[in-house]
Amino acid sequence: MLKLQNISKQFDQKIVLENINLEINTGEIVSLLGPSGSGKTTLLNIILGLTKMDEGKIIFNGRDVSNVPMKDREFNIVFQDYALFPHLNAYENIVYGLRNKKGMDSEKELQEYIDFLELKPHLTKKIGELSGGQKQRVALARTLVTKPKILLLDEPLSALDGVIKESIKQRIQSIAKEYKLTTIIVTHDPEEALTLSDKVLIINRGNISQFGTSREIINQPSNDFVKDFILKQLQIKRQNIFNLFGEKYA
Amino acid sequence: MPNVRPEMRIVYFLLALLFAGFLLLPLSVLFIRSFETSSGFDLSNYLSVLSNKEIIESIGNSFKVSSATAVITTILAFTLAYSINCTRIYQPLKRVIGTVIILPMLLPTITYGFAIMYSFGNQGLITKIIGHGFFDIYGFNGLLIGYVIYTLPASFLLINNSFKYVDKKFIIVSKLMGDGTLRSFSNTIVRPLIGTLGGAFVLSFILSFTDFGIPASVGGTYSVVSTQLYQVMLGSIPDFNHGAVIAVLMLLPAVLGVFLLYFLEKFNFQYEKITDIEWTQNKYRDTFLAMISSIFLLGMLSIFAVMFIAPFLNSFPYNLSFTFKHILNVFQSGDLVAVYKNSFVVSILTAIIGTVIAYSSAILNVRTQLKGRTAIDIVSMITNTVPGMVLGLSYLLLFNGSSLKGTFIIIILCNIVHYFTTPYLMAKNSLSKMNRSWETTGELLGDSWIKTIYRVILPNSVSTVIEMFSYYFINSMVTISGIIFLVTAQTSLVASKIKELQHFAKFNEIFVLSLLIFFTNLLIKFLCDYLQKRQVVNGKKIYRKSEAA
């Protein structure tokens, strides 16, 4: 279980995060949802250990990791732009980290990840030859083979289009289920957050607006921000889709 | 970007030490020495230098000939760049223009002077072919020709590069709006380039003002600042304090020039998008510009032609029978071969160590959050400003009594600091375009910072590293102004040896040595271009396929 206690952060006098308290159970998918500048990416970087917080504590499985450096926290992230190394091919990218932690993952396990993410036909391709969805899966594989205790995803769907988006969504859900992996996702898209995750944390101006399951957020929005910005978008979308298909499909 | 780690601090500390010891300290000593007199510190050195008629005249001469050079070079460089970028001149001809124009960069400037003498002198090749002389080449005319050839490649590269960032669609827009030829030309070509044109002018001026090789060979009795400085320092009665004053006076226009360059930056603006257009058919324009460019390039080549001819003739211009005698002589002379070896070793070491230093500086500057990393930008501004002669002289003043005096180390360090700016900016440019998360990713995958640099950052900037290496190598092969005060009999380099051979009128040796430099540089350039192209071809392949996918 991951516990965040009273986390606050300022950048040059400007408050980015204020008193964030949160508990995430093992194996849960949690989305951090908010408009740009809300502080969600900063919170993700604080959990990762990339950004230092000003106040607060991070407790992971009963151990205080607040001052544990990024490398030793054993969390890992897939960045929005994947940050794949272009001079290496897909396979070399995936095994990049294995060289440093020998014996961490057996050859059999490695093949399992590759099969699971359906990357076998693409292993010898250069990064530039991969499509967006393939890149995403290579980046996921590269991160997963290091066996992170928590998987962090920064806007994992924003660079993908249409159908691929939906399939990656399912993939993320099955990873979390298959490996019982706590997954924290940053997104600005309400539809994505509410359909992908077990729980959603809505952040506005550095504060928690609401934390709950999708159902709770839809049925009991805790304030006007959630109503006006989060739910309204979904209602407009629903209306548009109704208009397209006709009421009979409602 | 990664958090600050101890390794970064160590690298930063070493670089700080290097630039403190070999840039800031020597320059401070230079300033102090310029005020030092037998009775303490005052302005008397300046007063006596500024009341010296000869020196004042030489400064005046430098201003005159450098300004004339700057005007001519800027116009010529613009014409050539325009011919390449805005016409329908036959493509291969454009490529030839673009290549030939930069060839002088592969030769020391002192060679230009001798080539001019052997072409336009009373017994010169061109004089003989035409049948009569044109003008007195020793002095203003010779300097002007030499400086124009010297400054043209740099100015051309600058303007040609800027042309690529001009959105040519505006030419069509301007025509559709009813502009006449002149208004269209000034609004869509001149205006977007005005900052660069000003930059080319300032650059040509500074380069001519601070060059030593050309006046040393073809200056005659027409004295300029750099030859004055040389005389004061290494003449019959060396005067270090007066030398320091002249060096400071030489530095001033360079400082002003650099400020001017930063000011001119303001005139540059960025187009949102760069589009190429199909150029209209215009036979007159193309024929005219192709002729101008060709005539100029042929003229330039004909000046250097003598360098390739004279050493193969028995005794140019009197006995024109073919011989390998002079070439063999040079290779049989242990002395000259040793000098060539010196130059080669110095240049290779300068290129390797210099590239490492410039690359590490750029990494600290653009890919870390180290406090004080912007200080490196200030260092690069200073190295961009300080002329080679001034830097060399300040080393001479500081290290004269030390064990560094007369070593190759001091020459190599001088070259590294002297030419630091360009390779540093190349590295910065390439490193700043790379994904910001690579170091973090490497760290999460178990790499140390240094290991990520080695496994990820470096492999993705090979092409830039090769370019940096090539720049350092070629420049340290040809520089004379930077090292003239630092070489000794034991550490003599080709460029300084040429200066020495001039005293004994051994022009064949001079040309053979120049050819050696030329072909060595050409070889390195070809090699580096080839290696770079291989990199780019790989990169391109990736790019095309991803577009298709």
B440 contacts A96? CB cut-off 8 A = no
Beta-ladder partners of B368: none
Tell me if ipTM is over 0.85. no
B444 contacts A97? CB cut-off 8 A = yes
CA distances from B285 to B130, B163, B186 (A): 30, 18, 16
- The confidence score (pLDDT) of residue B12 equals 96
Q: Which two tokens stand for residue B544?
A: 């095309």
**How would DSSP label each residue in B91-159?**
HHHHHHHHHHTTGGGGS-HHHHHHHHHHHHSTT-HHHHHHSS--S--TTHHHHHHHHHHHHHHHHHHHH
- The whole-chain average pLDDT of chain B stands at 89
- A218 vs B536, residue with greater confidence: A218
The amino acid present at B152, given as its one-letter code, is L
> Which position has the token pair 């005539």?
B295
A100 contacts B437? CB cut-off 8 A = no
Interface test with A, best of B441, B443, B464 (most A CBs within 10 A): B441
Of B3, B445, B546, the CB nearest to A96: B445
Q: Is the pLDDT of residue B319 over 90?
A: no
CB atoms within 10 A of CB B423: 28
| Contact between residue B467 and residue B426 where contact means Cβ atoms under 8 Å apart | yes
Ranges of H-type helices in A66-118? 70-73, 90-94, 107-116
The amino acid present at A70, given as its one-letter code, is M
CA distance A43 to B484: 59
Q: What is the mean pLDDT of residues B146-171?
A: 91
Percent of chain A with pLDDT over 90: 58
Match domain A28-52+65-74+149-250 to its CATH number in 3.40.50.300, 3.30.70.2740, 3.40.50.2300, 3.40.50.10480.
3.40.50.300
- Torsional class of A162: left (φ above 0), alpha (ψ -120 to 50), beta (otherwise): left
Q: Is the pLDDT of residue B161 over 60?
A: yes
Q: What is the mean pLDDT of residues A27-48?
A: 92
Q: Is the pLDDT of residue A247 over 70?
A: no
Domain coordinates of chain A in residue numbers? 28-52+65-74+149-250, 85-148
| Contact between residue B394 and residue B30 where contact means Cβ atoms under 8 Å apart | yes
Beta-ladder partners of A58: A4
Burial grade of A35 (CB within 10 A; 0-12, 13-18, 19 or more): middle
CA distance B175 to B178: 5
- The confidence score (pLDDT) of residue A104 equals 57
The pairing of beta strand A199-204 with beta strand A29-33: parallel
| Contact between residue B280 and residue B90 where contact means Cβ atoms under 8 Å apart | no
Q: What is the mean pLDDT of residues B371-395?
A: 93
- The confidence score (pLDDT) of residue A250 equals 52
A126 contacts B441? CB cut-off 8 A = no
Which residues does chain B have within 8 Å of residue A71's beta carbon, measured at their own beta carbons?
Answer: 443-444, 446
Backbone angles phi, psi at A126, to 5 degrees: -70, 155
Q: Which of B347, B368, B351 is nearest to B428 (CA)?
A: B368
Interface test with B, best of A75, A96, A142 (most B CBs within 10 A): A96
Q: What is the mean pLDDT of residues B418-440?
A: 93
- The confidence score (pLDDT) of residue B37 equals 87
pLDDT digits (tens, 9 = 90+) for A104-127: 557 888 898 899 889 999 999 999
CA distance A228 to B191: 50
Q: Is the pLDDT of residue B541 over 70?
A: no
B444 contacts A70? CB cut-off 8 A = yes
Q: Which of B388, B404, B353 is nearest to B485 (CA)?
A: B388
pLDDT digits (tens, 9 = 90+) for A190-205: 999 999 999 999 999 9
Q: Is the pLDDT of residue B30 over 60?
A: yes
Taking CB atoms and an 8 Å cut-off, how many pairs form between chains A and B? 62
pLDDT digits (tens, 9 = 90+) for B124-152: 777 877 777 777 888 999 999 999 999 99
B443 contacts A85? CB cut-off 8 A = no
- The confidence score (pLDDT) of residue B315 equals 79
Integer-rounded Cα radius of gyration of chain B: 25
Q: Which two tokens stand for residue B503?
A: 């005293």
- The enclosing H or E element of B534 equals helix B507-548
Q: Is the pLDDT of residue B545 over 50?
A: no
Q: What is the mean pLDDT of residues B476-503?
A: 92
- The confidence score (pLDDT) of residue B322 equals 85
Judge whether B440 is closer than 8 Å to chain A, CB to CB: yes
Alpha carbon A91 to its chain's center: 23
Alpha carbon B109 to its chain's center: 10
A130 contacts B445? CB cut-off 8 A = no
Residues from A in contact with B at Cβ < 8 Å: 50, 70-71, 76-77, 79, 81, 83, 85-87, 96-97, 99-101, 126-131, 142-143, 146
Percent of chain B with pLDDT over 70: 97
Residues near B152 by beta carbon (within 8 Å), at least 6 away in sequence: B73, B76, B77, B80, B101, B104
A81 contacts B443? CB cut-off 8 A = no
- The confidence score (pLDDT) of residue B479 equals 94
- Torsional class of A37: left (φ above 0), alpha (ψ -120 to 50), beta (otherwise): left
Interface test with A, best of B3, B4, B445, B462 (most A CBs within 10 A): B445
CA distance B320 to B10: 62
Q: Is the pLDDT of residue B388 over 90?
A: yes
CB atoms within 10 A of CB B207: 22
Which residues does chain B have within 8 Å of residue A81's beta carbon, measured at their own beta carbons?
Answer: 435, 437
> Which position has the token pair 């250097």?
B304
- The confidence score (pLDDT) of residue B548 equals 34
| Contact between residue B477 and residue B525 where contact means Cβ atoms under 8 Å apart | no
Domains present along chain B, CATH in parentheses: 1-42+324-549 (1.10.3720.10), 51-322 (1.10.3720.10)
A79 contacts B549? CB cut-off 8 A = no
The amino acid present at B533, given as its one-letter code, is K
> Which position has the token pair 């400003």?
B385
Q: Which residue of A has its CA nearest to B451?
A: A100
Confidence of residue B543 (pLDDT cuts 50, 70, 90): very low
Q: Is the pLDDT of residue A249 over 60?
A: no
Q: Which two tokens stand for residue B356?
A: 């490492």
- The confidence score (pLDDT) of residue B540 equals 44
Q: How far is B366 from chain A (nearest CA, A)?
A: 17
pLDDT digits (tens, 9 = 90+) for B208-251: 999 999 999 998 889 999 999 999 888 888 888 999 999 999 99
Q: What angle do CA A211, A212, A218 make, to 5 degrees?
A: 110
Q: Is the pLDDT of residue B546 over 50?
A: no
Q: Which two tokens stand for residue A112?
A: 């399992």
- The confidence score (pLDDT) of residue B537 equals 58
- The confidence score (pLDDT) of residue A241 equals 87
> Which position has the token pair 């001819």?
B309
- The confidence score (pLDDT) of residue B536 equals 65
- The enclosing H or E element of A154 equals strand A150-154
- The confidence score (pLDDT) of residue A184 equals 96
- The whole-chain average pLDDT of chain A stands at 89
Question: Is the previous residue joined to B317 through a cis bond, with omega within 30 degrees of 0?
Answer: yes
Q: Is the pLDDT of residue B262 over 80?
A: yes
- The confidence score (pLDDT) of residue A178 equals 87
CB atoms within 10 A of CB B245: 27
CA distance A132 to A203: 28
Which residues does chain A have within 8 Å of residue B534's beta carbon, measured at their own beta carbons?
Answer: none
Residues near B224 by beta carbon (within 8 Å), at least 6 away in sequence: B58, B61, B62, B65, B143, B215
Q: What angle do CA B157, B160, B162 make, to 5 degrees?
A: 110
Residues near A204 by beta carbon (within 8 Å), at least 6 away in sequence: A34, A35, A38, A225, A229
| Contact between residue B109 and residue B214 where contact means Cβ atoms under 8 Å apart | yes
Judge whether B132 is closer than 8 Å to chain A, CB to CB: no
Half-sphere exposure of B80 (CA within 13 A, CB side): 30
Q: What is the mean pLDDT of residues B429-435?
A: 91
Confidence of residue B205 (pLDDT cuts 50, 70, 90): very high
- The enclosing H or E element of B289 equals helix B283-309
Q: Is the pLDDT of residue B54 over 50?
A: yes
Which residues does chain A have within 8 Å of residue B447's beta carbon, measured at their own beta carbons?
Answer: 97, 100
